[in-house]
């Protein structure tokens, strides 16, 4: 199985590659729709602005193809940070539309959220059996507010208003960085890869 990592030359993808190498998975960087056809699962890591991410996806020819795959749940997808945020309709950070897999938009935090937090887990197979004592690493300025999203699988212990993970079928997104969250994060990535 080949795991595709979306690479828009916006962030360091090496930390996610390192985790996947430790887990003995074959990794391929995906920068075009042609390369997307050669992978079995997709991980979209990221730190970046909403509009710049969407612009680069459009410019690379990935936006429409990846959006269609996600909306139709044709390919297992795991979005990290901005990779989760673009699953929604948009962001107050910009004017471009996201993939619109989930309703709602990202909002700006009053203060940057940087550091470790425990999560309140809800029911979802991918995230089941996670310890309530596990901590995950966050670094972000925008967030998805949590009224009650269908598919919401966790919220932050530090701030219950921040949606921290969401799932629908084979499409998953997390606001935290599992690749920087040591064994707790590695366990979640491994569950995605084995699902």
Identified catalytic residue from 11, 81, 106, 155: 81
Cβ atoms < 10 Å from Cβ of 193: 19
DSSP state of 177: B
Q: Which residue has the tokens 């040591």?
A: 182
Identified catalytic residue from 140, 155, 172, 177: 177
Q: Is 81 a catalytic residue?
A: yes
Q: Is 179 a catalytic residue?
A: yes
CA distance 85 to 131: 25
Burial class from Cβ neighbours inside 10 Å (0-12, 13-18, 19+) for residue 47 reads: middle
Identified catalytic residue from 106, 140, 170, 179: 179
Q: Is 120 a catalytic residue?
A: no
Catalytic machinery residues: 81, 177, 179
């Amino acid at each position: 199985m080949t795991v595709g990592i979306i690479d828009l030359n916006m962030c360091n993808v090496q930390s996610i590659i390192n985790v996947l190498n430790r887990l003995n998975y074959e990794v391929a960087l995906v920068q075009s729709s042609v390369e997307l056809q050669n992978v079995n699962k997709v991980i979209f890591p990221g730190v970046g602005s909403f509009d710049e991410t969407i612009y680069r996806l459009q410019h690379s020819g990935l936006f429409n193809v990846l959006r269609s795959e996600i909306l139709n749940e044709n390919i297992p997808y795991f979005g990290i940070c901005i990779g989760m945020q673009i699953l929604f309709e948009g962001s107050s950070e910009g004017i471009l539309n996201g993939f619109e897999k989930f309703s709602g938009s990202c909002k700006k935090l009053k203060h940057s959220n940087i550091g470790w937090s425990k999560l309140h887990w809800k029911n979802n197979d991918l995230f089941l059996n996670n310890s309530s004592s596990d901590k995950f690493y966050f670094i972000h300025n925008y967030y998805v507010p949590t009224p009650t999203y269908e598919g919401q699988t966790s919220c932050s212990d530090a701030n219950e208003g921040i949606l921290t993970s969401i799932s629908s079928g084979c499409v998953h997104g997390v606001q935290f960085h599992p690749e920087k969250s040591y064994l707790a994060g590695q366990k979640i990535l491994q569950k995605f890869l084995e699902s």
